[in-house]
Amino acid sequence: MIVGLIIACEVAFWVLLAAGLAFRYAFRMPRLGLALLLCEPLLEVVLFVVTAIDLKNGAEPDWKHGAAAVYIGFTVGLGHSTIKWADARVAHRFAGGPPPVRPPKYGMARAVHEWRVAGRWILAAVVAMALLQAAIWYVGDDGETGSLRTWQSRMVWVIGINLVVAASYTLFPRKGEPAGLR
């Protein structure tokens, strides 16, 4: 049931995003479009509540409950930037908006960009880890929580990888192209 709900939430995320942008730009109904976009967090609330109820009703915590926590964390950390990314492209393509801003390619500006991206991923992982820890405490010492702890260790890897990537752009910044090659 939890896996089906995670899939339904992911599909609903993209459907609400498409509908919200369509109403904002195609149908010239920006308030309705914004209302649809603001419904996105409700998906995570539903998933969170259903997962908690499932655990409360005695379900043994397994990878599905961990995946639900990770999905919620990633939506918290990356959902807003995904919506902004899509909105900028749809506004440009269909509503005459300015071209989307591209990330810098070189130097410290690129390093700052990479740290911002890493920050979003780290936020996602930390939220997921907090939800996983809350589930571990909720289940208590009597339940088998090994799968939830496995998800927590995976989130530590996500944090580590993002720190390494961002640090590499800081320590070894890409140099700009020589003026003659442009």
Residue 148 within a domain: yes
Q: Global pTM?
A: 0.90
What is the number of domains present in the chain?
Answer: 1
Residue 182 within a domain: no
What letter represents residue 128's amino acid?
A
Please give the pLDDT value at position 174: 87
Residue 28 within a domain: yes
CA nearest to 42, candidates 68, 12, 64: 12
| pLDDT mean for each 10 residues of the chain (182 residues) | 93 96 95 95 94 90 94 96 96 95 95 98 98 92 88 98 98 78 54
Residue 180 within a domain: no
Residue 179 within a domain: no
CB 158 within 8 A of CB 151: no
The boundaries of the domain holding residue 126 are 2-174
Please give the pLDDT value at position 176: 80
Residue 101 within a domain: yes
Please give the pLDDT value at position 39: 94
Close Cβ partners of 50 (under 8 Å, ≥ 6 residues apart): 1, 2, 5
Please give the pLDDT value at position 58: 87
CB 151 within 8 A of CB 61: no
Close Cβ partners of 167 (under 8 Å, ≥ 6 residues apart): none
Please give the pLDDT value at position 143: 78
Please give the pLDDT value at position 180: 52
Residue 134 within a domain: yes
Please give the pLDDT value at position 179: 56
Please give the pLDDT value at position 122: 98
Please give the pLDDT value at position 76: 95
Sequence-ordered alpha helix ranges (H) in the chain: 2-21, 30-38, 40-56, 63-95, 107-139, 146-171
Please give the pLDDT value at position 4: 95
